[in-house]
Amino acid sequence: MSRPRPRARTSALALLFLVGCTGSPPVPEPTTPAPLPADAESDVNPQPRERLRDGGLLRFPLSALPTEWNPRHPDAADADTQRVLDPLAPEHLSLDAAGRASANPDFVTGIDVQHAERTVVTLDLHTDAVWGDGAPVTAADWEATWRAASGQVDGLEPADPRGWDRVAEVREGSSPRQVVITYAGVDPDWAQPLVPGPLRGSAVTSADTFSWGAFARARYAAPFQVAHLDDAQGLVTLKRNPLWWGDQPKLDTIMFRTVQPQAVAAAFQHNELDVWETGTSVDRLQQSRAAADTTLRTAPGTTGRSLHLSTSGPLADPALRRAILMAIDRTEVGAVDLGDLRTPPRTWSSTVLLPTQPGYIDQARATGLATDPARAGDALDEAGWELASGRRTKDGQPLDLTFRTPEGDELAAAEFETVAEQLAAVGIRLRAVTGPADLTPASVPVSAFPLARLPEEAASVPGAGDLVALVGAEHDQVRRADQASQLARLLWQEVIEIPLYQEPQFVAVRNGLANLGAPGFATTDWEDVGWTS
């Protein structure tokens, strides 16, 4: 079974704390659950550096070589290019598996955060940090990055502002090695734009310089650098950066080789590759498991599977949407989707956070608005949909809904079969269509900062706008937790979207590879990736 490409979703503010649950939904009073901690997991074979051998080669597949080498350029947004650029990036903040940020000591030796009328962040930059030509990494690079990423450079279109649009000023502090970043208001997600670090300031001053059509060593500061690029052979080779000031990388070579997608399985099985991001394709997972000297690493991923509900026609009535939510067994849908993958579904019950993110609350439990076909039938009765001969009708019109199943999308087709059977049990007929539909399945990417920009649908929910504004400007963890919980509950009760389950990550690797695999939201410390002794 193949999986569809995820649809984009605007997503929002990192909760670096646990949230509680407040407010009372318009459903029978449930037992209020305790706040859930971040249940984040990763599967990377974590090993201390002393257990890794010095040297070694790590091999990745690519479908194509990069044509754009600026990581913030729209043409560099594809997965292949980002994979190559990741070991070259000056990552100033690190993320853990749950998406919580902390300073990367190779670049930042101190952080001071003040919240008054505005959030002001002061970063003390490592005094040894240098670009590939030996020039120091300074506040000037940060200022140029802010101007480029926030649309202040004529003709320049960055791939994603990533929070830079919320920054009012970037300036040098007490020295060129200190940068002061002032936000437009109080910003609890101040870390969002800072994680990937700055771009080389001199290389982003205009629209022309912002596009990097070739690799230039002076634009990067990281444990590795590009040592060889062979367009004819489809190879990119990274070697240790001799100017790197941190711990020496354990690997001495990382190689990226272009391989046709249909040939990756054979290349991995013939020991021509060390890492293979299989995704959730059953065929690819079976092929990876059949390879010798291989471990399949898996962890909860950064996307969720969901059903988007129309709010027109019969579904304009929130009571009907809530009845559909109660009629659908989301755990069963996940079990059918993931059954051949040998991993149980992690049922997803919030439109704001994934189950492994800090502050996640199971809103089905919190509100009592959970799978319950009997209550779904009662709700349909109360909404005027009468049941006769197994079908619901109202004012002579049958309750017939549509479910989008694009041609060739086996996953959506399987979900249609499962959901159609569940809805039929309460008298709702579901019909598969290839175009716009009442119910649309999708894979939804979720940010490590999931409240910085909420789903666009929230704007149409009465009362949600006020909560969005409160959450976006509240730095007090307790108050913000309460507000975020109320917002998640409100969106759950509105049922514009029915979250199903958190999708898993699968990465096949050679045995002995350490500190790399299925990371959740975590960033990679490339100097610590290597082979066990």
Least confident of 30-39, 70-79, 203-212: 30-39
pLDDT in tens, 369-386: 999 999 999 999 999 999
High-pLDDT (> 90) share of the chain, %: 80
Q: Average pLDDT in the 400-404 region?
A: 99
Whether the predicted pLDDT of 35 surpasses 90:
no
What integer pLDDT is reported at residue 339 of this predicted model?
85
Percent of the chain with pLDDT over 70: 92
Contact, 153 vs 224, CB < 8 A?
no
Q: Which residue has the higher pLDDT, 20 or 435?
A: 435
The predicted-structure confidence for 297-331, as pLDDT tens digits, reads as follows 999 999 999 999 999 999 999 999 999 999 999 99
- Report which of residues 478 and 123 the model is more confident about: 123
pLDDT of residue 10: 32
The pLDDT score that the predictor gives to residue 459 is 74
Neighbours of 5 (CB within 10 A): 7
**DSSP per-residue codes, 292-311:** SSEEEEEEEEEEEEEEEE--
Name the residue with higher pLDDT: 140 or 352. Answer: 140
What's the pLDDT score for residue 42?
95
Q: How confident is the model at residue 39 (pLDDT cuts 50, 70, 90)?
A: low
In this prediction, residues 226-235 reach a mean pLDDT of: 97
**What is the pLDDT at residue 24?**
33
pLDDT at 312: 95
Residues 432-462 pLDDT 10s: 999 999 999 999 999 999 877 776 777 778 8
Residue 15 has pLDDT above 50, yes or no: no
Alpha carbon separation from 499 to 121, 220, 422, 438 (Å, rounded): 35, 40, 16, 15
Residue with more model confidence, 32 or 218:
218
Provide the pLDDT for residue 214.
94
Contact predicate 35/21, CB 8 Å = yes
Tell me the pLDDT band of 410, cut-offs 50, 70 and 90.
Answer: very high
Residue 425 pLDDT class (50, 70, 90 cuts)? very high
Q: How confident is the model at residue 472 (pLDDT cuts 50, 70, 90)?
A: confident
Q: Share the mean pLDDT of the chain.
A: 90
User: What is the arithmetic mean of pLDDT over 173-199?
Assistant: 97
Pairing of strands 57-62, 253-258: parallel
pLDDT at 431: 98
Query: In the prediction, which pLDDT does 455 show?
Result: 66
Helix, strand, coil % over all residues of the chain, rounded to 5: 30, 25, 45
Query: Which has more pLDDT, 23 or 263?
Result: 263
Q: Which residues contact 10 (CB under 8 A, 6 or more apart)?
A: 453, 454, 455, 456
Task: Give me the CATH code for the 302-504 domain, please.
Answer: 3.10.105.10
In the predicted structure, residue 478 carries a pLDDT above the cut 80: no
Section 247-268 average pLDDT: 97
Q: How confident is the model at residue 423 (pLDDT cuts 50, 70, 90)?
A: very high
Closest residue by Cα to residue 323 from 501, 437, 500, 493: 493
Mapped onto helix, strand or coil, the DSSP state of residue 114 is: strand
What pLDDT score does 5 carry? 34
What's the mean pLDDT in 250-262? 98
